[in-house]
């Protein structure tokens, strides 16, 4: 037990002038055992607070100190001030949906006749790709993409693909794939989807200056489409120089 707690309980043991001390908010929270006590401590300190509910996760108390720094208290039984931005960063990848659900867009719904995707490769691979098709593989993933399934990484942004791969570009006729009813599952790049998710949670609790660093990762593109299935050669051609 901290000395100021002992002094409060047994003041005769300590000279008042020596221990005339106001504990910090963090120290006061150590003895709080209910939501009401937590909120009273924050109010006595002149802090603003708000209780925020989530679809499938325990609610939090967002506390704003006098200097406008924001904290999160996410466990009323053991209340502890956590930096709000650090708290968002610490949410496990598998639990992000519990806080804010990102609506899944149907990529294929927006695909029409003539819609193309592009895949960059090396010159040595062009002939075999046009002959055998594009195979969903894992060796094109980066370190931060390692948990993604085998995929063909594509992009509708031709300028971006040309910048990274030069002239060896495979054109994928996604419109024809849809017309034939061949529509494999697709997704964006995992690090960027995670960044979008965390940024959405931060916005939900009012962290307007939050910015997740994965958006700055070199080589990622927000329009990247990972196709979780092989793409037969009938839908492929090489981009003419």
- Residue 8, domain extent: 3-90
Which of 41, 61, 90 is where one domain is finished?
90
The pTM of the full predicted model, rounded to 2 decimals, is 0.62
Please list the residues that pair with 170 across neighbouring strands.
119, 238
Whether residue 101 is predicted with pLDDT greater than 90 in this model: the reply is: no
The answer to whether 228 and 149 have CB atoms below 8 angstroms apart is yes
Whether residue 143 is predicted with pLDDT greater than 70 in this model: the reply is: no
Interval 113-142: pLDDT, tens: 999 999 999 999 999 999 999 999 875 544
Q: Report pLDDT for 51.
A: 96
Q: Report pLDDT for 142.
A: 41
Interval 167-209: pLDDT, tens: 899 999 999 999 999 999 998 777 777 888 999 999 999 998 8
Residues 32, 116, single domain; the answer is: no
Residues 187, 137, single domain; the answer is: yes
Query: ∠112-117-118 over CA atoms, to 5°?
Result: 160
Residues 125, 85, single domain; the answer is: no
More confident residue, 81 or 188: 81
Whether residue 5 is predicted with pLDDT greater than 70 in this model: the reply is: no
Domain count, the chain: 2
Burial of 189 (0-12, 13-18, 19+ CB in 10 A): buried
Q: Is residue 170 part of a domain?
A: yes
Residues 127, 41, single domain; the answer is: no
Residues 47, 153, single domain; the answer is: no
């Amino acid at each position: 037990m901290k000395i100021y707690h002992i002094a409060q309980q047994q003041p005769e043991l300590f000279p008042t002038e020596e221990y005339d001390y106001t504990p910090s908010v963090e120290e006061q929270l150590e003895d709080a055992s209910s939501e009401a006590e937590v909120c009273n401590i924050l109010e006595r300190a002149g802090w603003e607070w708000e209780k925020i509910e989530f679809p499938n996760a325990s609610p939090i108390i967002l506390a704003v100190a006098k200097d406008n720094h924001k904290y999160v208290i996410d466990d009323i039984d053991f209340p502890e001030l956590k930096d709000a931005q650090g708290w968002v960063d610490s949410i496990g990848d598998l639990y992000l949906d519990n806080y804010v659900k990102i609506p899944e867009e149907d990529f294929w719904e927006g695909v029409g006749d003539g819609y193309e995707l592009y895949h960059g490769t090396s010159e040595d691979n062009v002939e075999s790709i046009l002959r055998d098709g594009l195979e969903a593989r894992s060796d094109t993933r980066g370190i931060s993409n390692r948990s993604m399934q085998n995929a063909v990484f594509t992009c509708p942004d031709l300028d971006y693909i040309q910048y990274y791969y030069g002239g060896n570009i495979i054109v994928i006729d996604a419109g024809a794939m849809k017309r034939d009813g061949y529509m494999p599952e697709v997704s964006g790049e995992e690090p960027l989807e995670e960044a979008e998710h965390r940024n959405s949670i931060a916005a939900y609790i009012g962290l307007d200056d939050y910015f997740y660093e994965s958006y700055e990762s070199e080589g990622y593109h927000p329009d990247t489409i990972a196709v979780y299935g092989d793409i037969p050669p009938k839908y492929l051609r090489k981009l003419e120089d």
